[in-house]
Homo-oligomer: A and B are copies of this chain.
Amino acid sequence: MARLCGFLEMKLATLKSDSRDGSLAVVNRDLTRAKTVPGIVPTLQDALDDWAGVEPQLLRVYRALNAGDCEAIPFDPCRAAAPLPRAYQWLDGSAYLSHVERVRKARGADLPKSLLDDPLMYQGASDVMLGPCDPVEVASESWGIDFEAEVGVITDDVEYGISIDKAAAHIKLVLLINDVSLRHLIPGELAKGFGFLHGKPASAFSPVAVTPDELGAAWQDSRLHLPLTVHWNGHLFGEANAGSDMQFNFARLIAHAAKSRKLTAGTIIGSGTVSNYDLTTGYSCIVEKRVVEIIETGAAATEFMRFGDRIRIEMQDRQGQSIFGAIEQEVRPCR
């Protein structure tokens, strides 16, 4: 294996194919060209299973792509699956406490006493992961359809009981997530005491996942310090900074997840809905806006999503280049 020099910058996607797991592709920095790499490793899960073994070869392809030195196909984000179309684990934290405070207020639930020093995290469904342009299919508008714009990381194998100090090195990729939420199903099922089942259906993921080094100075202390822009039906709805007000960074979330077990390569860990105390940055989910409306005026003016609504979630670097491509979904009735 060749020695790795310099920064480990890279963008990866999974292109839809006849296979359930799609085809791993390296994507150039501008998100215009892609190259599948069957000769190196066929899928992203396979790559994560042997990250140290394949990373150098994938990095070489990325550098060649950016230099225009290799053949490639045009990259169409809407032909991308989720980077992991089915994953072995999806754990979603709730690291932005302004989100926790507002959402719990919305459903009249108490704040956990340990809010400031013990991360909230739930085990989500990972057997179906939506691609960035896949529709959000829901049986009924009456379920209270909401989006949650988040940042997430994908790990390699993490040892049982890992320390926070060691956890950051297991972050192999960073990506964006739409953690679809069915607000009217949640209070009833959380009251049963076993967490989310119906209220958190399949989540959607950005077209591209990138290495932490690809984020440059925006990745600091296991946090991503850039605004996450959310457009709902074409209107800007939020641009909260994902680096602000994140009480628990990703290293902390990984260590929390691994307290009593190992984590297998390909584990996806979410930040929870990105949210700032500064209300001028808007919202990354509808329910927070509704709570603020109730506080300010006595009633929620904003309704949840309707069939035909569109949600767009994206993050640009300081030069205005889309880092991950956009999650851009339409809400549809389930057939």
Contacts and interface: CB of A to CB of B under 8 A. Distances in A.
Interface of A: 20, 49, 86-89, 91, 94, 109, 112, 114, 118, 120-128, 137-139, 143, 160-161, 182, 185, 188, 190-199, 201-202, 256-257, 259-264, 266-267, 334
B125 A261 contact: yes
Contacts of A193: 109, 112, 120, 190, 195
Contact of A123 (B123, B161, B185, B261): B123
Chain A interface mostly: loop
- Which 7 A/B pairs are nearest by Cβ-Cβ distance? A195-B195, A127-B264, A88-B127, A89-B127, A122-B194, A201-B261, A198-B260
A125 B86 contact: no
A297 to B, nearest CB: 28
A266 B127 CA distance: 9
A161 B139 contact: yes
A49 B18 CA distance: 12
A199 B160 CA distance: 14
A257 B197 contact: yes
A193 B143 CA distance: 20
A260 B139 contact: yes
Nearest to A199: B260
B260 A195 contact: no
Contacts of A191: 112
B192 A194 contact: no
Contacts of A89: 125-127
Contacts of A112: 191-193
Nearest to A46: B20
Contacts of A197: 91, 121-123, 256-257
A89 B262 CA distance: 16
Contacts of A87: 88
Nearest to A185: B260
B128 A262 contact: yes
A111 to B, nearest CB: 10
A193 B120 CA distance: 9
Contact of A139 (B126, B137, B160, B192): B160
